[in-house]
Amino acid sequence: MQQQSGLRTRRNAVLGAVMAVMGLAGASAQAQQDFPSANRQMRILVPFTAGGSSDVQARMLADKLGRLWNVPVVVENKPGAGGHLGGKYVVDQPADGYTLMVGSIGLHATYAVYPKLPYDPAKDLRVLTVLAEMPHVVVATPSLPVKTLSDLTQLTKKESNSINFGSAGVGSSVHMMGELYKLQSGAPIVHVPYRGSSAALNDLLGGQIQLMFENPPTVLSHVRGGKLKALAVTGSQRLEALPDVPTAAEAGMKDYVATSWTTVAVSAKVPETIVQKLNADIRKVVNTPEFHKGLADQGMSAVANTLPEAQSFVAREKQRWDRVISEGKITAN
């Protein structure tokens, strides 16, 4: 009798454990089905300072997703370490899909410049979609005695190591565009990293540095207002927002064609059902005429690709920029 009683007790314990697991699984499935909850706040983290290209896109996305879901979507800026402070922060948040991040080349394709990161961006982050793509604009202070990209290259070789270019940080797209120009032209310009594009832009406008290879949204108003001069754009076509500015190829550097891009990413531990819903909903809002126009006004083109397409795109870009990092011997101290 005691043996039978013991067996019943063990069976009841096992049954209770199974029911508990099933209950947790059911609750998890229900939470995913109800995602996003009207009682929860969604966050979009920008791993750079306010006012830059990523920030502009994040605020556009927050507005549209908030309307679609009828839930509050807030934007938070957490700059530092070329965006990796923000990247690590997202990885450390609960993997429930309520913390998104607007990522960049620096987060997904050029992190090899940081040999001792406290996380692995390739394994710990999941790219939901490539949000937008854009060429960069080579901008100079009005006092720099150049009118074209060829003029710039000639001047830098005459005045070796005396012309500085600023960036949003080591490994950022703004930095890498400058490094690509250095490699292809042989121009001995000096990189000055900042904690975000806004700080670099302030010094460019103040004349402390002479060049930037910046995203269009950050510099368009200054170019139009005559505070900066645009020498070239790095894309294969001229920018609709700057129709008089030649491409680098038109300016004599036929191989200097590159774009930067932004992503929407989450922790790699976010459940697949939520990942699929986020991808579908983000693509839905980005592929509206209103969102397309908002991006075009800032010199950007919408991408909004599928999960497999995004993965393939990022992998190809990482291979490309790894070569630039290796050839340029670029590293963050």
* SS3 per residue for 236-277: CCCECCECCCCECCCCCCCCCCCEEEEEEEEECCCCHHHHHH
Burial class (CB in 10 A: 0-12, 13-18, 19+), 305: buried
**The pLDDT of residue 217:** 84
pTM greater than 0.95: no
21-53 in b/e form (b: 16+ CB < 10 A) is eeeeeeeeeeebeebbeeebebbbbbbbbbebb
pLDDT (tens digit per residue) in 11-51:
665 555 545 444 544 444 554 578 999 899 999 999 988 88
Domain boundaries, the chain: 42-133+262-328, 135-233
**The pLDDT of residue 319:** 94
**The pLDDT of residue 24:** 41
Do residues 54 and 260 touch, judged by C-beta distance below 8 A? Answer: no
pLDDT (tens digit per residue) in 74-88:
999 998 888 899 999
What is d(CA 51, CA 123) in angstroms, rounded to the nearest whole number? Answer: 29
**The pLDDT of residue 16:** 57
**The listed CATH number (3.40.50.1820, 3.40.50.300, 3.40.190.150, 3.40.50.150) that belongs to domain 42-133+262-328:** 3.40.190.150
**The pLDDT of residue 14:** 52
Low-confidence ranges of the chain (pLDDT < 50): 18, 20-22, 24-28, 31
Count the helix, strand and coil residues of the chain and give each as a percent rounded to the nearest 5: 50, 20, 35
Do residues 132 and 292 touch, judged by C-beta distance below 8 A? Answer: no
**Please, what is the angle between helix 173-185 and helix 307-328, to 10°?**
50
Which class is domain 135-233?
alpha beta
pLDDT (tens digit per residue) in 287-303:
999 999 999 888 889 99
What is d(CA 9, CA 13) in angstroms, rounded to the nearest whole number? Answer: 6
**The pLDDT of residue 27:** 42
**The pLDDT of residue 21:** 45
Same fold, 42-133+262-328 and 135-233: yes
